[in-house]
């Protein structure tokens, strides 16, 4: 019994041992908090017009003989985290399918805004952004050739079809779409930015040629069966600074 009493005493005093430590810790924290508030230096960053070019398009054109295109990008910073953004240019692409071969070419413009979700250190000016765009393109599509699909594998294509070359051009086609993008931009040299972004596009409407379909719309890229598309941008841009805020 006596032994047990000694044990309890030991435990109870052990409990009190850290009480002091705990209150000591709190005192330190209280001292630290006001120090943080004293830091009031504001780092200013450049505001202005940023102009750029999409490098992925000339690269794609170099490797693919069925593509050519150019895209100019521009954005203007209106708030700390918000930019008005636009891209415009032209594209030409030949869609080579199993049963048809067609070429789309024309101009496009996309307008919208970017929201920078990245908190920069000091006076750095990098971005991890999400963006929204409305896109519009005016183009023409030429059906170069096609082969009617009479494939009948179970009978070993008993009656084959021949290739037809109508070279039928349909002008004044258009497409509207909305676009969600996500990307990064990094200031690599003073006022020079490298950016990469991907976008998911949803077609709002497209004017199809008579008895055919728009397979590729400039600025939209390939139109998938579900009327959606994907885009990739790799841009180099220069910021013309107007003011520092």
Binding region for other proteins (CB under 8 A)? 95, 97-100, 146-152, 155-156, 158-159, 161-162, 196, 198, 211-213, 215, 224-225, 230, 232
Taking a C-beta distance cutoff of 8 angstroms, is the pair 222, 213 a contact?
A: no
Distances (CA, A) of 89 to 4, 11, 169: 88, 79, 21
Closest approach of other proteins to the CB of residue 152, in Å: 5
Q: Which is nearer to other proteins, 11 or 63 (CB)?
A: 63
Alpha carbon dihedral 204, 207, 210, 213, in 10-degree steps, equals -50
Closest approach of other proteins to the CB of residue 49, in Å: 27
What's the angle, vertex CA 153, arms to CA 149 and CA 156, rounded to 5?
A: 110
Closest approach of other proteins to the CB of residue 104, in Å: 12
Taking a C-beta distance cutoff of 8 angstroms, is the pair 241, 46 a contact?
A: yes
Closest approach of other proteins to the CB of residue 103, in Å: 14
Q: Which is nearer to other proteins, 107 or 147 (CB)?
A: 147
Q: Which is nearer to other proteins, 138 or 194 (CB)?
A: 194
Tokens for 199? 């976008």
Tokens for 239? 């910021």
Q: Which is nearer to other proteins, 113 or 146 (CB)?
A: 146
What is the C-alpha to C-alpha distance for residues 80 and 123, in angstroms, rounded to an integer?
12
Taking a C-beta distance cutoff of 8 angstroms, is the pair 150, 160 a contact?
A: yes
Q: Which is nearer to other proteins, 112 or 229 (CB)?
A: 229
What is the C-alpha to C-alpha distance for residues 57 and 69, in angstroms, rounded to an integer?
6
Closest approach of other proteins to the CB of residue 197, in Å: 10
Taking a C-beta distance cutoff of 8 angstroms, is the pair 103, 94 a contact?
A: yes
Helix (H/G/I), strand (E/B), else coil: 75: strand
Q: Which is nearer to other proteins, 7 or 161 (CB)?
A: 161
Closest approach of other proteins to the CB of residue 59, in Å: 12
């Amino acid at each position: 019994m006596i032994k047990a009493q000694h044990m309890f005493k030991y435990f109870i005093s052990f409990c009190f041992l850290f009480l002091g430590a705990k209150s000591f810790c709190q005192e330190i924290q209280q001292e630290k908090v006001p120090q943080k508030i004293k830091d009031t230096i504001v780092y200013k960053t450049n505001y202005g017009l940023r102009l750029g070019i999409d490098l992925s398009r000339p690269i794609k054109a170099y490797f693919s003989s069925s593509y050519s295109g150019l895209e100019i990008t521009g954005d203007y910073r209106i708030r700390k985290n918000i930019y008005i953004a636009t891209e415009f240019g032209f594209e030409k692409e030949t869609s080579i399918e199993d049963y048809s071969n067609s070429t789309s070419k024309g101009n496009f413009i996309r307008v919208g805004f970017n929201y920078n979700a990245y908190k920069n250190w000091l006076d750095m000016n990098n971005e991890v952004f999400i963006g929204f765009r409305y896109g519009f393109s005016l183009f023409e599509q030429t059906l170069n050739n096609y082969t009617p699909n009479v494939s009948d594998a179970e009978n070993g294509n008993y009656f084959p079809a021949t290739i037809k070359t109508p070279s039928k051009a349909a002008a004044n086609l258009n497409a509207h779409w909305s676009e969600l993008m996500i990307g990064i931009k990094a200031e690599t040299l003073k006022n020079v930015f490298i950016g990469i972004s991907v976008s998911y596009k949803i077609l709002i409407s497209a004017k199809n040629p008579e008895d055919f379909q728009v397979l590729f719309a400039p600025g939209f890229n390939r139109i998938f069966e579900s009327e959606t598309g994907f885009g990739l941008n790799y841009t180099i841009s220069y910021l013309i600074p107007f003011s520092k805020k």
